[in-house]
């Protein structure tokens, strides 16, 4: 038996083998901190798994190659002193006519060139494989054995896809900036409004445009995640997501559907060009943010409703 201090003279002052907590002081529970640590570890593990896959690296390589090809093409085309592309001053590909004057415009051109197809396709592949890929590999139920819960696992998957959105956009921007600096002069640049801003200001706007482009893919990520919860085939989920992306963009170009165009998630994608105005024109940018948030809420809720009630057999 363990000894404790007694009230008798013989027991008073005796050493106790039982360590009791101070009276009135409860031991703080470690559950919350352990959960936070676990969820952080789960997110880091998802990031490592995603960015170590050859498919992910191949997608990033393709995205990085687009600015290189555009820059080389412009350099070859303007080698005889002619101008590249069509008339400048517009949004999207019209930035290409300004590249020879300032390599920083290659960043805007590359983002405009990759946003309609390459970037959303890459996001669709990653998002479509998020849940369906785990189910197809037979690892989904093992993830759910850990104390993550379906809701938190779904949020972790979505956060991983959004991280890929940001990384993919920055890969395009950094590749374009590097190629632009190597092949063309850098300096003060002229905005769409005709005013001149410093190179530092232009560089800051280029970074802001990259963030806006990443935010423009929030709806695509939610749509792909929802599709991923509908099937156990990663390839089917990826193909369906990419197919929906192409279909929506085709519908956005049909004049007879003009009334529906403002509700297509791709309609305001090129509104990032308004950041190159002086002052910045915010109307279409805010519409884009609101539309992406709406798609994220609708398809994110649909993904949650499907995933939390789905019978996980693999």
Q: Considering the chain, what is the average pLDDT of its residues?
A: 83
Residue 286 has pLDDT above 70, yes or no: yes
- Domain assignment present for residue 79? The answer is yes
- Domain assignment present for residue 112? The answer is yes
The burial class, CB within 10 Å (0-12 / 13-18 / 19+), for 194 is: exposed
Residue 69 has pLDDT above 50, yes or no: yes
180-227 residue pLDDT tens: 999 999 988 888 888 889 999 999 999 999 999 999 999 999 999 999
Q: Predicted confidence band at 314 (pLDDT cuts at 50, 70, 90)?
A: low
> Contact at 8 Å (CB) between 220 and 265?
yes
Helices (H) and strands (E) in the chain, counts: 10, 2
- Domain assignment present for residue 16? The answer is no
- Domain assignment present for residue 147? The answer is yes
- Domain assignment present for residue 8? The answer is no
* Amino acid 183: pLDDT: 92
Q: How many CA atoms lie within 13 A of 66 on its CB side?
A: 26
Q: Predicted confidence band at 79 (pLDDT cuts at 50, 70, 90)?
A: low
Q: Partners of 29 in the beta sheet?
A: none
**DSSP state for residue 241 in the 8-state scheme:** H
Residue 22 has pLDDT above 60, yes or no: no
Number of domains in the chain: 1
- Domain assignment present for residue 314? The answer is no
Q: Give me the domain span that covers residue 229.
A: 37-309
Q: At what angle do helices 105-114 and 150-183 cross, to 10 degrees?
A: 140
> Contact at 8 Å (CB) between 169 and 214?
yes
Distance, in Å, from the CA atom of 89 to the CA atom of 78, rounded to the nearest integer, reads 18
- Domain assignment present for residue 15? The answer is no
- Domain assignment present for residue 138? The answer is yes
């Amino acid at each position: 038996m363990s000894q404790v201090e007694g009230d008798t003279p013989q027991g008073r002052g005796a050493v106790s083998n039982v360590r009791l907590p101070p009276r009135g002081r409860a031991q703080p529970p470690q559950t919350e901190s352990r959960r936070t640590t676990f969820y952080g570890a789960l997110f880091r593990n998802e990031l490592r798994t995603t960015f170590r896959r050859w498919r992910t690296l191949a997608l990033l390589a393709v995205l990085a190659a687009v600015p290189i090809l555009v820059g080389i093409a412009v350099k070859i085309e303007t080698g005889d002193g002619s101008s590249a592309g069509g008339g400048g001053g517009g949004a999207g590909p019209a930035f290409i006519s300004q590249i020879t004057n300032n390599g920083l415009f290659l960043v805007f051109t590359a983002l405009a060139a990759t946003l309609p197809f390459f970037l959303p396709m890459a996001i669709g592949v990653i998002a479509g494989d998020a849940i369906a890929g785990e189910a197809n590999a037979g690892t989904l139920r093992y993830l759910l054995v850990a104390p993550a819960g379906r809701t938190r696992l779904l949020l972790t998957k979505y956060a991983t896809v959004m991280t890929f959105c940001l990384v993919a956009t920055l890969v395009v921007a950094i590749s374009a900036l590097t190629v632009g600096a190597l092949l063309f002069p850098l300096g003060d640049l002229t905005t769409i409004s005709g005013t001149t801003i410093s190179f530092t200001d232009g560089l800051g706007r280029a970074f802001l445009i990259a963030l806006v482009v990443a935010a423009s893919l929030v709806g695509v990520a939610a749509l792909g995640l929802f599709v991923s919860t509908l099937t156990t085939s990663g390839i089917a989920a990826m193909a369906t997501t990419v197919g929906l992306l192409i279909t929506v963009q085709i519908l956005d170009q049909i004049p007879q559907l003009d009334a529906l165009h403002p509700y297509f998630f791709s309609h305001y994608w090129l509104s990032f060009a308004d950041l190159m105005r002086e002052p910045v024109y915010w109307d279409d940018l805010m519409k884009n943010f609101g539309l992406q948030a709406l798609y994220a809420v609708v398809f994110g809720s649909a993904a949650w409703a499907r995933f939390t009630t789905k019978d996980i057999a693999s």
